[in-house]
Amino acid sequence: MAPGVFDMISLKVADRQGHAALYMTGYGTVASLLGLPDAGLATYTDMVSRAALMAAGSSAPLIADADTGYGGLLNVRHTVQGYEAAGVAAIQLEDQEFPKKCGHTPGRAVIPQEDMVAKIQVAVEAREDPDFLIIARTDARTSLGIDAAIARALAYQKAGADVIFVEAPESADEFEQIAQEVDAPLLANMVEGGRSPVLESAMLERLGYAIAIYPGLGFMAAAASMDRVYRYLLDHGTSNGADVALHPIEAMHELMGFQEVWSFDERWKN
């Protein structure tokens, strides 16, 4: 299970809990960095710089969303090399047309299968460390159906992808069908309120899934809490009495590493 992280506070909170991996969500990262929808508006530079900060700040392996690779085959090579140099453990590439859209929104279209196969082959060739994982995502389920999505998954596996990600299956039966027909490490995307049911991790493991990501959990929880507490402040003229859980300021200091700053200051004071 890999919770979605979208900024450095969410990264620090999740990392200290001991999760096996973390997922740099494209939706949340674009929203927190640019205040824009996840619709192909963020650039490679926007995302790789964020990935480098998160990878450096995390003790857990970081899976990073890299959209379509930000262009053609040369761009894909550059993206893979940049993300690997940034220190992430795995890169996710998808077969959407540019500009891409969030996988649980309407209007997504996919590129020809052979074009994505070439992107995967380039990605595999571009990496230096064989342990740097290439995750191939297909968004074909929504527009072309489950059978076409599975056919693409098999082609992407054959092209060299380490992990297969079929986006937005619409039932538990479809998750099971994917697992039965694709003999590869599989990733399941658990989006609360999205197109797919949110299945228990134990069930996903029984079906044969290796990774479950929860990309929206953190930023949806944060946005809901902020909406509630900011509205309380507006309505009441004070934060006193707001029925919202707050991280104690002492715990925030500890989370952000102020103890080390204070220790340094104490050692070097005149």
Residue 106 in this model has a pLDDT that exceeds 70: no
The class of domain 2-222 in CATH terms is alpha beta
Please write the tens of the pLDDT for every residue from 179-215. Answer: 999 999 999 999 999 999 999 999 999 999 999 999 9
Average pLDDT, the chain: 95
pLDDT digits (tens, 9 = 90+) for 13-38: 999 999 999 999 999 999 999 999 99
Among 148, 126, 121, 149, which Cα is nearest to 137's?
149
- Per residue in 232-268, pLDDT tens? 999 999 999 999 999 999 999 999 999 999 999 999 9
Q: What pLDDT band is residue 130 in, cutting at 50, 70 and 90?
A: very high
User: Could you state, in order of their start, the residue ranges of all structural domains in the chain?
Assistant: 2-222, 235-268
Tokens matching residue 145: 């159906």
Nearest residue to 67 via CA among 45, 110, 98: 98
pLDDT at 270 (0 to 100):
76
Question: Cis before residue 99, ω within 30 degrees of 0?
Answer: yes
Contact 13, 21 (CB under 8 A): no
pLDDT at 50: 97
No. of H helices and E strands in the chain?
12, 8
What is d(CA 70, CA 158) in angstroms, rounded to the nearest whole number? 23
Whether 2 contacts 213, CB under 8 Å: yes
